[in-house]
Amino acid sequence: MEKATFGAGCFWGVEAAFRKIKGVVSTSVGYMGGHFPNPCYLDVLSRITGHAEVVQVEYDPQIVSYDDLLAVFWDIHDPTTLNRQGPDKGEQYRSVIFFHNAQQEQAARQSKAKLQMEGKFDRDIVTEIKPNSEYYLASEEHQQYFEKKGRH
């Protein structure tokens, strides 16, 4: 099993999208990329921690490739809006890929460059590509939120 971590706006919908992918073994939502230890949801929401809302995906690379996960990531959000997805505004909603190894970094950078060159988006892609850092799991109420609330 391998891990992948993506920030693409509110983590509830991002997690729901990745949970549908064959080969994704598990998902969790949490926070990464900030400077404040053990943040809770309200800390991150207050924009004082520097964290992004992220989904950590555990996947079987024999069934689904990292490139396939990147394709899902690019399709489920607008990577050209800085610190915003739809009505959600703030650095916690930024578009970011946290890589776990050199191969993921290379794949992420290549896919971003390819999308930019292809002109799929009208504006420049602002997605950050950064090494993974301390991952703080969000509270249980946020895990698989849409499944618990009956929304998809």
* Active site annotation includes 10: yes
Helix (H) or strand (E) holding 103: helix 102-118
pLDDT tens digits, 6-27: 999 999 999 999 999 999 999 9
Total domains in the chain come to: 1
Whether pTM > 0.85 for this model: the answer is yes
Per-residue pLDDT band for 144 (boundaries 50, 70, 90) equals confident
The pLDDT value given to residue 76: 96
**CATH code, domain with 35:** 3.30.1060.10
Instruction: Name the active-site residue from 4, 10, 57, 72.
Output: 10
- Enclosing domain of residue 144: 2-149
Length of the chain in terms of residues written? 152
CA dist 58 and 7 (Å) reads 15
Task: Say whether pLDDT at 145 is over 70.
Answer: yes
Neighbours of 63 (CB within 10 A): 12
